[in-house]
Structure 1
Amino acid sequence: MKKTHSMRTNSAKTAELPNDVQALKQLLLKVEESARAANEKLAEREATVTKQKTHIRYLEEIVKLFKANKFGKSSEKSPDQTELFDEVETEGGDSEGSWVAEAVESEENSEPETVPATKAKAGRKPIPKEYPRIIIEHDVPEDEQRCSCGCEKQHIGDEVSEQLDIVPAVIQVLQHRRKKYVCKNCEGQIQTASLPAQPIPKSNASPGLLAYIATAKYQDALPLYRIENILSRLNIHLPRNTQANWMIKSSELLQPLYNLLNDQLLESGYVHMDETPVQVLKEPGKKAESKSYMWVRKTGDPNKKESIVLFDYASSRKADVVKTLLPDFQGYLQTDDYAGYNHLDTIKGVHHLGCFAHARRKFVEAQKVAPSKKGATSKADMAVSLIQKLYAIENKIKDFSPDKRLATRQKESAPQLEKLKSWLDKSLVTTLPKGKTGMALSYLAKNWNKLTLYVEDERLNIDNNTVENAIRPFAIGRKNWMFSNSQKGAKASAMLYSIIETAKSNDLNPHAYLQLLFTKMPQVKSIEEYEQLLPWNAKELLAKKV
């Protein structure tokens, strides 16, 4: 019955079709056009749904990464990295997994030996000999100094043990007494002995006090108000605004030394560079909450004894700042991927290096948001492992001679980079660009030439971590003192950070070095005398002082 009804319906529809051939064609064209429009609308809707799913996945990754950074471990090291590659790749959904397994297998067969890290000896370290010893003698009671046999016991030596004792800061006053002379016969003009040039004229701040305040703030990250409180407990009234003015004037005294350091840095031929935000409250034309920047440059050649770290304050992060800080620079410059450095790629004689730590960090972020599947290996896992092998080679050769370091890089690092590049090319095709993994792959591909330049010269570093480590004391201090009040204060901070970090990188005690500078520099009269105060030349003066 149903079949008969269907046949009747179809017959009725067929009867409605026009008998004219031209009219029938027009009707068919309308039906095709309607079907095409419906298909286009459906495809558009599917594209929208796909785009929305991709965006949702991207937002989920951001939330997952935020939670991992907020509540997870901060270290980039993964304890399971040696066990990651038992299964095939899961993200691509293609035949790439078998290729990954083969790459890892060949990787393991050719992996270079790494030198095991020498573990520091456990236990208490001896107290340095240069500190004075206060002898406290302990004797056996008199009634026990006689033996049970009746003989008197003989003293045969001492059992010595040491305790470290710290006496709170000793406050002393340097009282300058200037002899005065006059002729009693003619009662002429009084002659008074001259006072040696002081770091801050007409001030009661000694070189030692200035060095103490500078070290406390710029090395130990103590805000000035805390230093004020510490001194107040010793019954010394020293307001923070007075301390701030002293630091500004002290930095001005150090300017000639900074100029010499800057000249040597630009002539070194290899510089690391980075920048970090700083807030300056009273800055012309800017709101108090707006960002300014502290730019940091560091020499990178490990074969040179001179190590220089320079901080420079700038109100912006524009490329013009880079041009100002690197006038006529020639050689290797290592930075991150900030666009402000890109104009250097067009300058003849400048070789721009990238930072593998930044590339690895992006894959570590991708690891945190990768779908968690037991026994599965993500692209981010694979990238971190391949990059880690490059770092293992660098760790092995860090104490090699220059020639041997370069030869090992050519023999071991270059093939490892080829494997990484081959894997990168395959992964780019099978990974969506929007997402943490896609962004990490794009970063690696975009900066490939800059990242791999280090294997061509034994002086070069695989990453920019050396300057990032130099920035760390500033970043720690910024958490405590939070901002600079004025541009003068920011510039003074840059100057004092430069001298302190350069002293540390040359194995000098920053406080002792600053005290030497504040004592000697007011009396310097020639460039040669300034050169004698450079960190690598001042070691002998400091040794004599000790």
Structure 2
Amino acid sequence: MSAAEQVKTLEKRISELERENKLLHDTVEYLKHKLFGRSSEKTSVLSSGQVSLFDEAETQADPKAAEPDLKQVEGYRRKKFNGQRMELLKDIPHDKHLCTLVEEDRFCQTCNTALVSVGEEFIRTEIEFIPAKVRAIDHYRETFECRTCRKNGQPYMEKSPMPYPVIQHSMASPSTVAWVMHQKFVNAIPLYRQEKEWQTLGVNLSRATMANWIMAASRDWLSPVLELMHKRLLQEKYIHSDETPVQVMNEEGRKNTTDSYMWVYSTGKHSDHPIRIFEYQPGRNGRYPQKFLKGFSGYLHTDAYSGYKKVDKIARCLCWTHLRRKFVDALPKDIRGPDATFPSQGITYCNKLFEIEKTLEDLSREKRKSERLKQEKPVLDAFWAWVDSTKAKILPKSKLGGAVNYALNHKHELMNYLEDGNCSISNNLAENCIRPFTIGRKNWLFSGSPKGAAASAAVYSIIESAKSNGLSPYKYLYYIFSQLPGVQFGQHPEYLEDYLPWSPEVQEACK
């Protein structure tokens, strides 16, 4: 080998090592940020002429809104307005407490004449906390007898009807079961901490008993409602889906450290009857959404997970927030440096789409589709042209290369939202649905059994569906547990219609 060839070989090797070193450096910085950095994508404006690369476009303020007046918040105090306190307290009952003179002090200290009230003066409003109380209700049944029939030798007796218990042979009541579920699945308070709270109230209620209540009540009363909601969901045209890991103990044939998954399925943003359904499954295989969504034909909003390809007769709409996150992950540590140019351009394109989307929220389906083609299609064309021109200038295995390849590999699914005005540009709806579950998971860590995980899925489904329909989760749970037991919905399934979260009776009772 000649000297020139050796030099050329060495130069090629040096170039390869530099690229490899760059990839390793980027990987280390990315992992450090994931481990120690802020999880939020928000930050200040990066440079003149660029929008903030980390501000979620969906949450940005209206660009036409007036700038805040710093004089209004001088000293970091919140600006007050007339009636602010009354607005905060408008939904709670008010009791009047009048401070007055005792009878023996109602005399004039000058002439000893009795004093007469001439008016009252409002001083202040306070919020009083009344601790919870527990009481035992002893149910008795009264028996009635017809004395005339008894005299005629034909004794007739009748017993008064009894309310059906929420759990057979148990001291559970609708209010206690609803409260245990509300504390765990809304307030993310684990059962062992609830056990201590019950003890302070004078009740030795074990976590095992509460767990049994949750499973029994979910099986008997929540599951029938959810089955009907599932049927309604499959009749929708737009569905959002997402999944997150959950650790479940005592799964047959599996180690306790093996990841199971909680799947969530949601109606679209513009649905008349919002539905949120959670489903526990022991894995992340595509056969699970395939089975759950059997019979659905429409637009399915998801991330790029390949398992959803097994779902038949659907058009997938992928999430631009996920794509944007890929570009955010590609930003170098020095986000103002030259290496940030390409990632920042990708983020800017995504942000522009989200900004346009925000202005179209109140339009009709047809008008929204028309405006998307008019306003967003040019931005999309420019973005794809930029992606094609960028691909040759970057390292394929780098974070930026991954973002570009992700976009190119899923171009068709990323563009599908343009086909229908009620399709969404992101899958944030499903992610927001599953967030309460991930917050609760940090506290209770795992489910004790597959039955417990299935019960948790049922409760989360009812709670999140209640929220999306403007209901109080506790009131809706209490309504189901107090009204549904005893209803013959097995013989008459149509009776369950009255217990769906959008039914007039539920809306009136559970706000």
1:535 aligns with 2:501: yes
2:26 to 49, 55, 61: 61
Residues 158-197 of structure 1 mapped to structure 2, 5 A cutoff:
158-159=121-122, 161-181=124-144, 192-197=159-164
1:404 to 349, 367, 385: 367
Give the direction of change, closer, same or farther, for the CA distance of 1:146–1:445 in structure 2 (3 Å limit): farther
Counterpart-to-counterpart distance in 2, 1:418 and 1:147: 90
Task: Provide the residue aligned with 2:231 in structure 1.
Answer: 263
- Secondary structure at the aligned position of 1:297 is classed as strand
1:287 to 255, 258, 274: 255
1:199 aligns with 2:166: yes
Task: Provide the residue aligned with 2:265 in structure 1.
Answer: 297
1:131 to 81, 92, 99: 92
The answer to whether the 8 A contact 1:114-1:395 is kept is no
> 453-462 or 512-521, which moves further after superposition?
453-462
The answer to whether the 8 A contact 2:301-2:319 is kept is yes
Per-residue deviation at 1:467? 0.5
Structure of higher CA gyration radius = 1
Task: Provide the residue aligned with 1:333 in structure 2.
Answer: 300
- Secondary structure at the aligned position of 1:332 is classed as strand
Give the direction of change, closer, same or farther, for the CA distance of 1:542–1:274 in structure 2 (3 Å limit): closer
Deviations 1:239-275 (A, max 9, x none): 0000001100011121111011001111101100110
Task: Provide the residue aligned with 1:272 in structure 2.
Answer: 240
Task: Provide the residue aligned with 1:232 in structure 2.
Answer: 199
The answer to whether the 8 A contact 1:223-1:480 is kept is yes
Per-residue deviation at 1:162? 2.0
Residues 31-110 of structure 1 mapped to structure 2, 5 A cutoff:
34-35=1-2, 39=5, 46-81=11-46, 83=48
1:354 aligns with 2:322: no
Give the direction of change, closer, same or farther, for the CA distance of 1:195–1:46 in structure 2 (3 Å limit): farther
Residues 518-533 of structure 1 mapped to structure 2, 5 A cutoff:
518-525=481-488, 526-533=492-499
Give the TM-score taking structure 2 as reference length: 0.85
More helix by share: 1
Q: Which has the higher contact order (CA 8 A, sep 6+)?
A: 1
- Secondary structure at the aligned position of 2:280 is classed as strand
- Secondary structure at the aligned position of 1:260 is classed as helix
1:217 aligns with 2:184: yes
Identity of aligned residues (%): 33
Per-residue deviation at 1:46? 4.9
Task: Provide the residue aligned with 1:319 in structure 2.
Answer: 286
Counterpart-to-counterpart distance in 1, 2:452 and 2:339: 53
Q: In structure 2, what residue type is equivalent to 1:533? A: Y
Counterpart-to-counterpart distance in 2, 1:167 and 1:49: 73
Task: Provide the residue aligned with 1:8 in structure 2.
Answer: none
Counterpart-to-counterpart distance in 2, 1:154 and 1:315: 73
The answer to whether the 8 A contact 2:166-2:485 is kept is yes
1:469 aligns with 2:435: no
Per-residue deviation at 1:78? 3.5
Give the direction of change, closer, same or farther, for the CA distance of 1:376–1:192 in structure 2 (3 Å limit): same
Q: Which runs of 5+ in 2 are unaligned?
A: 52-61, 69-77
Deviations 1:30-86 (A, max 9, x none): xxxx549x93x7666555544333232222112212222333333213322452669
Counterpart-to-counterpart distance in 2, 1:300 and 1:117: 32
Give the TM-score taking structure 1 as reference length: 0.80
- Secondary structure at the aligned position of 1:523 is classed as coil
Per-residue deviation at 1:455? 2.4
Give the direction of change, closer, same or farther, for the CA distance of 1:541–1:316 in structure 2 (3 Å limit): closer
Q: Name the Cα RMSD after superposition.
A: 3.0
Task: Provide the residue aligned with 1:423 in structure 2.
Answer: 386
Deviations 1:89-119 (A, max 9, x none): xxxxxxxxxxxxxxxxxxxxxxxx9443999
Q: Which runs of 5+ in 1 are unaligned?
A: 1-33, 87-112
Per-residue deviation at 1:426? 0.8
The answer to whether the 8 A contact 1:364-1:380 is kept is yes
Counterpart-to-counterpart distance in 1, 2:216 and 2:395: 56
